[in-house]
A and B are shown apart, each in its own frame.
Chain A
Amino acid sequence: MPVNQNLPSAPVPTPAGDVGFAKADEAVINWLAAQGFQSVSSDGPDKAESWPHIQVVKLPAGHSTLYEDSPIVQVEVFHPDYDAAANAAGVAHFWLTDPWQGLRAGQVVGDQTIDEVRGSSPGHLDYQDGYLERFVGSYTVVSRPINPL
C-alpha cells in the first residue's frame, strides 16, 4: 500500500459557524479530506464527486454535549471496483487508526481536539446496489472543541 511518509498534515480551515460544539464526525470528515481523499462528506454515494467516495455516518450512539462528543462513526468507502474500494478503505483505516500518523489523541482538526479513536478494520458489506461496492469500518471517536463558548 503506497503511503507518503512525508505528507504534511494539510491545514484545515476553522468553520465559521457553530464554533465551540463538539462534532466528532466533522473532525473525521475534515481529517480524511486533509489526507487527500477528494470526495468525503456525510452524503451518500449519489452525491459523489469522484471515486472513491467516503460517507461518514454518525450513528445514534454515544453521548453528545457542548463539551464532548463520543459517537460511533461509520466510515463507508464506495467505489465501483472491488479492489479499489478495498484499497481506499485500508488507506482510510490507516489514517484513522495509525498510532503515529493517524487521528490519534491530541490531534487538532479544525476546531476539534481528538481525545480517543478506536475501531475495527473495514470489511465488505453489500450495499444492495448492483453498481457500487462498499467497505465499512466503524470507529468510536471522542472529540472536544478547542474553545467551548
Chain B
Amino acid sequence: MARNALPSLSLSELAVMLEGEGAAMLAASTEYRELLQHYAEQGAEYARAYAPVGTHEHIYNGHVDEPGDYRDSILGLTVFHDGQWFGVVQATDFKAWWIEFGTKHQPALAPLRRARGQLSGELGGTFDDTNDVQANWSGWTNEYQYAEPGSWRD
C-alpha cells in the first residue's frame, strides 16, 4: 500500500460496521489493519514534526548520538492484541522518555502526546489517553479510593 493512500474502507463505513454483529471479526481483519496503519503513519509524521532535533553529535558511553536520531526513530505500526488490531506511534530512541515527560535537566516536550491529540481531533476526538491501554501502565485505578477501612483491599 502506498504511504498515505487511504485504504478502501473509510472511517464512517467502519463505524457503521463496528456497530454490527461482525465487529469482532472486523477488528481482526486486514482492512481494519490497513486503516489503522494509515492513521498510525500519519500520527508518526505529526510526531516527527514536533520532535526536537539537535545541532551536533553527543557521545554517551561510547554511543554516538547524531542529530535527528530521536526524530528518525518515531514510527507508526500496528500490533495485534487481545483479538484486535491497534495502531501505535512509538519512538525507540533511548532519549524518548526524557523528551516526552521531561527530567530535572530538560522540559517535557511531549511530541507523541501532541501527535495523539492532533490525530484524535482530526478523527473527531474518538480516542484519548483515558482508554489508551499503553498509557494506563501503572495499575492505578479509582477503585483504590473507594476501599473502606478493614476491607480486603487494606
Contacts and interface: CB of A to CB of B under 8 A. Distances in A.
Interface in B101-154: 101-105, 107-110, 113-114, 117, 128-130, 132, 135-142, 144-145, 147, 149
A74 B128 CA distance: 15
Nearest to B154: A1
A72 interface: yes
B130 A74 contact: no
A74 B101 contact: yes
A24 to B, nearest CB: 14
Interface residues of A, number: 34
A124 B138 contact: yes
Given A60-B109, A72-B110, A74-B108, A123 B117 contact: no
Contacts, number: 83
Contact of B108 (A3, A57, A140): A57
A61 B142 contact: no
Main secondary structure of the interface of B (DSSP, over half): loop
A127 B117 contact: no
B80 interface: no
Nearest to A98: B142
Nearest to A59: B110
A141 B66 CA distance: 36
Contacts of A94: 142, 145
A119 B130 contact: yes
Given A93-B140, A98-B142, A128 B117 contact: no
Contacts of B109: 59-60
A74 B110 CA distance: 10
Interface in A104-143: 118-129, 135-136, 138, 140
A80 interface: no
A59 B104 contact: no
B97 interface: yes
A138 B114 contact: no
Interface in A27-42: none
A62 interface: yes
A64 interface: no
A72 B115 CA distance: 12
B114 A1 contact: no
Contacts of A93: 140, 142
A98 B142 CA distance: 7
A62 B113 CA distance: 10
Contact of A122 (B107, B108, B114, B140): B140
A103 to B, nearest CB: 13
Interface in A49-70: 57, 59-62
7 contacts: A60-B109, A74-B101, A122-B140, A123-B137, A126-B103, A128-B105, A140-B117
